[in-house]
Structure 1
Amino acid sequence: MIDVYSWPTPNGHKVHIMLEECGYKLGRDWIAHPIDIGAGDQFADKFLKISPNNKIPALVDPNGPDGKPISIFESGAILLYLAGKTGKFLPSSTRGKYEVLQWLMFQMGGLGPMLGQNHHFRIYAPEKIDYAVNRYTNEAKRLYGVLDRQLKDNPYIAGKTYSIADMAIYPWTRNWKNQGMDLNDYPYFKKWFEKMSERPEVKRGCEVLTALRKPLHDAKAREQLFGSTQYQKRK
């Protein structure tokens, strides 16, 4: 049984989707342990042992590559681990592999962080800062444009084949309305988005732990996520 320590966020859903796409069934092959980031579960010593950056998700596989348990943090690394373990969703050819990896890095280094900042300043910031909202909204539009151009001539993000790049990017774009986007401005992306939304494995992956999620209205939850707690020195 693979243990996944997670929460219903874009980074969490990436891994949930990948597990489902690989044929692993929740409750049979893997279990989702909720790490309530609004309650501060990510700062618990037990979790920090497997995720020293105090971020979800993290994975513990009792049957690692050498037959021993292995723990992995960072959602992109987990996707690569599962692709290597199963031989799925990452091409075996050198060219194909790097075509996928560049888009995975695009999500990890650009799309995720920028959309995260966009969402923060549009939805959660205690004061409305027009400069920040405009900056990150415009950057989000630029990134959606990059994806739209890529998908003009390709059915999937990295080309002709569905891959971990699609799984990494899709969850971050599910909140396009809150990001100030209009999908009609990105017709090729919209077609891909709708196709992704209909995949049964994607649907199941995006439902994992969602019943536990709560609106971030209380001060304690906001402090755990955005306040000084996350900057405390830890042993």
Structure 2
Amino acid sequence: MHRSALILLLFVLGSFALVVVTQSSHAVGPTLQPSFQTTALWGSPQAPLLAAPGSTSLPLYVSVTNLGPEELFSVVMRFQASYPLTPIKGVPNNITLRLPALPVGSTVALVGYFNISPSIQPGVYNQTLNVDYILGNETYSQTLNVGVPILGQPKIQLAGFSYNPLRVYPGYPYAELTTVLVNTGTATASSVSVELNMSYPVYPLYNGSES
């Protein structure tokens, strides 16, 4: 009877130890996976730009830092642009960077030129960055989110107007009207088109003089 009890006790203790080792191996594994820090800005770190809805041909600078804990090898990074970003003509949607190694603490950058949809609201828009690398003898892949700031907003207002000559009377043969528009927003207005709509008793001197 004592012998049976001893065998049963050893079996129970052995099962408990097996569970602990299995849980420990799963808990340790993910800590070997590297952490990354991503930063996105328009322009460059030395000369940043404020992007706005409708901006065109702006350089997007995306930096990636390996926070460790391991150095990575045969690294391939692919930045996949999606709405509201579209690459300029001749630039692919995916910007790819290949590196033989990426030590802990090192930072690399991907740069591409993009247009921004004019029909969006200012905000931060998530884009995707895929990172493939070799760690030990295994190949891994991680998908990172990159927040792209589009926070600028142009605002065009009528600042004033003037006539030449300064005074115009009924029946005057012609006069020059000058209007002054000012962008009081926080970003450059692109592809601006201005048209002056006139009505009786004023009409354009020749076609095209009102735009």
TM-score range, shorter chain: under 0.3
Rg comparison, structure with higher value:
2
Q: Calculate the TM-score normalised by the size of structure 1.
A: 0.18
User: Which structure: greater helix fraction?
Assistant: 1
